Amino acid sequence: MRVSSLTLAVALFFVTPSHAADVKTLLAAPRQRIETADYRASGHLIRVDANGNRLSFPITIKAHWFTGVLRVYIEFGTGSKTSADSLVSSRAPIHILLEMRPNGRSMVQIAHPGSATAFTLPFERWSEGLLGAGFGYEDFLEAQYFWAGQTALDKAKVGTRDCDVVKSKPGVADNTHYTDVTTWLDHDTGFPVYVEKTLKGGMVKEFTYFGLRQNGGVWSAHQVGAKIRGQAGSSLLIIDRGTPKAKLTLKDFSPAQLTHF
């Protein structure tokens, strides 16, 4: 995919609050998708700089909803970029365990090669993300669907897709670096097509979902592009393969798994 496609080759119609829409109905599909999550996926997370140069990292993601908590385990490999005459490696591999609870309590743990135990990442560092700008740790949790403040906006069009638009605002108990999140949900599937997330500093992160597909009754996207509005560069998560019903257990998210390299 060309980098230029991440500058949003989509048409966004003006949206205003709608009193007719039932926001609980609109959020039913994305909430169910999280509360029935049981998947394994692998691919690459790619950082694209202002000149179009790409730094690619292999990534494996496992996610499962246990009673009252979503656990997401990420194996993030050594990055590489291809130049004219060499292959340059960057950053050692890391393992990450994220937990999201609808009551606002989330947690991020990180382990590096040689670590005896995982390190709990302080909340103030959650916005750093795997590659700086773009995907932050909490972007893998999608906690906004469970936030206290939810408003249904008028329907809008993203490309050729008819979408229902929801604006989410966190409550006092919700740990997040975002002040609000606006999501364009595909009307037929309830899967996000485009998302705008406003950081507390005022910057807006844009996420665009490409190649929506259904496997085993579960909807997913082949690629997700992320960028900060007004800034050069972007990130791209590409999923090459996955298992929608992986039958994961607590063992797959254990401390032993987190520190095993």
Which residue ranges form the domains of the chain, and what is each CATH number?
A: 11-81+88-242 (2.50.20.10)
Which regions of the chain are under pLDDT 50? 1-20, 83-89
Give residue for tokens 């705008």: 196
Q: What per-residue confidence (pLDDT) applies to 52?
A: 86
Q: What per-residue confidence (pLDDT) applies to 49?
A: 86
Q: What per-residue confidence (pLDDT) applies to 164?
A: 97
**pTM of the predicted model as reported, rounded to 2 decimal places:** 0.86
Task: Indicate the pairing of strand 94-100 with strand 69-76.
Answer: antiparallel
Q: What per-residue confidence (pLDDT) applies to 80?
A: 62
Q: What per-residue confidence (pLDDT) applies to 50?
A: 86
CA triple 144-184-37, angle to 5 deg: 50
Q: What per-residue confidence (pLDDT) applies to 78?
A: 79
Q: Is 30 left (phi over 0), alpha (psi -120 to 50) or beta?
A: alpha
Q: What per-residue confidence (pLDDT) applies to 132?
A: 60
Residue 78 · residue 89 · CB < 8 Å: yes
* 3 state DSSP class of 194: strand
Q: What per-residue confidence (pLDDT) applies to 259?
A: 95
Residue 186 · residue 213 · CB < 8 Å: no
Token pair listed for 28: 């039913």
Q: What per-residue confidence (pLDDT) applies to 23?
A: 95
CA triple 229-230-236, angle to 5 deg: 50
